[in-house]
Amino acid sequence: MAIFENKQDKTFTLFTESTMYQMRVDSIGVLQHVYYGKRMEYTNMSYSVYEGSTSFSPNPLATGWTYSNNHVPQELSVTGIGDFRINALALRNSDGSLAADPRFYSAEILKGKYSIPGLPAFYGEDGETLVITLKDEAYEIYYHLYYGVFEKYDLITRSLRIENKTDKEIKLERALSATLDFPNGKYDMISFYGRHARERMFERTHIKHSKVTVSSVRGASGHMENPFVIISDKNANEEYGNAWGMALVYSGNFEICAETDLMEKTRAVIGINPENFNYGVGAGEVFCTPEVALVYSSEGFGKLSNCLHKAIRNNLVRGEYKYAQRPVLINNWEATYFDFNADKLVSMARDAAEIGVELFVMDDGWFGHRDDDRTSLGDWFPNESKLQGTLKSLAERINNEGLKFGIWFEPECISEDSELYKAHPDYAFKIPNREAQVSRNQYILDFSRKEVCDNIYEQLTKVLKSANISYVKWDFNRHISDLYSVTLPAERQGEVYHRYMLGLYDLLERITSEFPHILFESCSGGGGRFDCGMLYYMPQVWTSDNSDAIDRLKIQYGTSFAYPVRTMGAHVSVCPNHQTARVTPLKTRGNVAYFGTYGLELDITKMTDEEKEEIKRQIKEFKKYYDLIQYGDYYRLISPFTVDESLYCAWETVKEDGSEALVCAVRYESDANTAPETVKVRGLCPDKLYRINGSKETYLGAALMSVGFLLKYDFISYPSNLYHITLA
């Protein structure tokens, strides 16, 4: 039983395999947060809660000085009633007051995991749901706190529904999804910052008395911060210490903010960014916040990542490609950019088929009259002169070479030079009487409007039905500025960012369910929208436009804290690399791309026979290790962010039962006369004997995990090696 209500203690306790989360209804009906940490037998831990007051911390009349909202750890933290910490909810009542006072009303335990209308969420029969309803002291406003519990993966999800049963509209000025109060201690926040071609760089910050915030106001989760953080003990590392992961299942504006308060307790809130957010909830209406996924590990970041990876693979990603082997693809973007015709693509497909590639992806430039990035977004009809025939005939030509056929779209954007813009200039976000900003020469479509989404839906489905298409890359190459929706009144413009996301998710739901055989890959100028929201609709994401194997070490390593290898688009490209001009061995490029979806992004017709042979070998090797890589437990062994400690980056995937592992180690710096380096493996059986790459010698699992083994030293730039560890 994952959810336990103790009516006498007035506690609710959520149990997962290794974790426990406890709340209680206190003497005045506030839902207090009591505990989130290591699992133990049920015990009422509310004795540990500090409720007391200091001067200048207001008290409810009923409690006197011993209690203040400013100190009580809360499940739903609100503005207006004396809690001066960061909080999740700021609600403007119809009388203009900015306050809420939610008190316990009812609780219900439901079988299965709740879903959220119109929003992505973890799902599964194996989950259980607790709904605690709080009601405002003064108004008919109800707060339904949803808790989903997935025992096996130590995953707890949360979402809030605000139900307005008054007869007037209320306004939400903040509506974040969750508050997490930490009783004591000093913590770090680990977050993942970046920019285009440099996504998800690891950063560790002490949480102090000032606020630590990661956020986006770009209308997308963005390259610059990721809607996932870890809050951990100061000394936590990959194998040791308390760590709490928080991932927002949302792809738009977000905020994750933490602070330590005057009594040295830490609070974190996570949800939709309150900036430019002001949402009206009419009489009888309900507002649902996005979901937050929480994972706790008492054994450091490695275990935390593995729990989240499994939950994402099994209970977030959907569709036919959830478990199916994904085809090895070749994409023509870095090979041709906009300069191609059908004959060129077919010649690439022919050479690719010979070495084992399974899917050909035609990237940007096939529609309207788009030969550069200045035109045609919004005109989703094939350029038949460039394609030397119809899309159907091109797909057939590629199919005849033995490859499946895939195609690129950027459905959310529009070029001024397009038929769509001529017909509907108001479809683009623009503020009246202002010149709108362009970015990559394009505007963004107002997906808060149903008719705009419907137009794109019609166009896309027509294309997808017109030819044998097996894959779609869904790109998004700018962020939202000049936000204004012409169909909403002035007082509702603060709803547009979120309504845009609802429109986008609805469109994605319609298209992905109508074409269940198509593999969808999400992209946003590389990894600019790599989040749990997108993964609900599309099982893989193009991790970065940076395909340089050495830069990819940091990008994929950073990404792995939250997201599984199986979701990371990773391709082998040419050298000198188009983003960094770096020259790396083809073998290293392959080894790095193995820990992703593995594909190619180069002009195969220009490769030497020797290079083609190497790629052929790689495809075979990748397939040999496919299940181990895609479904194994993933461990980060040596960080690429600590060059002063090691010249290597190493990661590992290991079968859950410890019987087989694959370690990849890449040397990303070259120094003369370097000291020998070892790597310590994880997840093996301590008392079993293993061989490395079929060695004669055998090694005890415990030894490989505590002293490790010596890394090979190859005297070349950027060498890399795989170490296949098997039972002796």
C-beta of 272 vs 413, nearer to ligand DGJ? 413
Specify whether the CB–CB gap between 280 and 233 falls below 8 A: no
C-beta of 219 vs 494, nearer to ligand DGJ? 219
Please, is 377 exposed, middle or buried when counting C-beta atoms within 10 Å of its C-beta (0-12, 13-18, 19+)?
buried
C-beta of 152 vs 578, nearer to ligand DGJ? 578
Q: Is the peptide bond before 183 cis (omega within 30 degrees of 0)?
A: no
Specify whether the CB–CB gap between 243 and 230 falls below 8 A: yes
C-beta of 75 vs 364, nearer to ligand DGJ? 364
Select from 522, 564, 568, 519 the least CA-distant residue to 547. 568
**Residue 485 CB, nearest approach to ligand DGJ (Å):** 26
Comparing every residue's Cβ against ligand DGJ, the nearest one is 364
Specify whether the CB–CB gap between 179 and 268 falls below 8 A: yes
C-beta of 363 vs 417, nearer to ligand DGJ? 363
Select from 242, 210, 243, 218 the least CA-distant residue to 228. 243
Neighbours of 354 (CB within 10 A): 13
C-beta of 341 vs 659, nearer to ligand DGJ? 341
- Rg value, the chain, Cα: 26
For helices 342-354 and 391-400, give the axis angle rounded to 10 degrees: 20
Measured CA to CA in angstroms, residue 370 lies from 217, 452, 453, 727 at distances of: 30, 21, 22, 55
C-beta of 136 vs 545, nearer to ligand DGJ? 545
Specify whether the CB–CB gap between 90 and 98 falls below 8 A: yes
Tokens of 152: 């096996």
Q: No. of H helices and E strands in the chain?
A: 13, 39
**Residue 405 CB, nearest approach to ligand DGJ (Å):** 16
Tokens of 119: 């929003």
Select from 596, 599, 619, 615 the least CA-distant residue to 607. 615
- 342 membership: H or E segment, kind and range: helix 342-354
Specify whether the CB–CB gap between 559 and 530 falls below 8 A: yes
**Residue 408 CB, nearest approach to ligand DGJ (Å):** 6
Q: What is the 3-state secondary structure (H, E, C) of 63-87?
A: CHHHCCCCCCCECCCECCCCCCCCC
**Residue 567 CB, nearest approach to ligand DGJ (Å):** 16
The residues that touch ligand DGJ, with contacts defined as CB under 6 A, are 333, 363-364, 408, 475, 477, 523, 525-526, 542, 545
Tokens of 391: 């899309």
Question: Burial letters for 233-253: b for 16+ Cβ neighbours within 10 Å, e otherwise?
Answer: beebebeebbbbbbbbbbbbb
Neighbours of 566 (CB within 10 A): 21
Supply the residues annotated as catalytic: 531, 611
Cβ neighbours for 319, distance < 8 A, ≥ 6 positions apart: 512, 516, 520, 539
- State how far the Cα of 270 lies from the Cα of 291, in Å rounded to an integer: 10
**Residue 616 CB, nearest approach to ligand DGJ (Å):** 24
Specify whether the CB–CB gap between 503 and 450 falls below 8 A: yes
Tokens of 378: 């919004």
The per-residue DSSP string of 504-557 comes to HHHHHHHHHHH-TTSEEEE-BTTBTT-SHHHHHH-SEEE--S---HHHHHHHHH
C-beta of 137 vs 373, nearer to ligand DGJ? 373
Measured CA to CA in angstroms, residue 428 lies from 161, 275, 364, 470 at distances of: 31, 21, 20, 30
Select from 436, 450, 380 the least CA-distant residue to 411. 380
Specify whether the CB–CB gap between 29 and 38 falls below 8 A: no
Tokens of 43: 């015990």
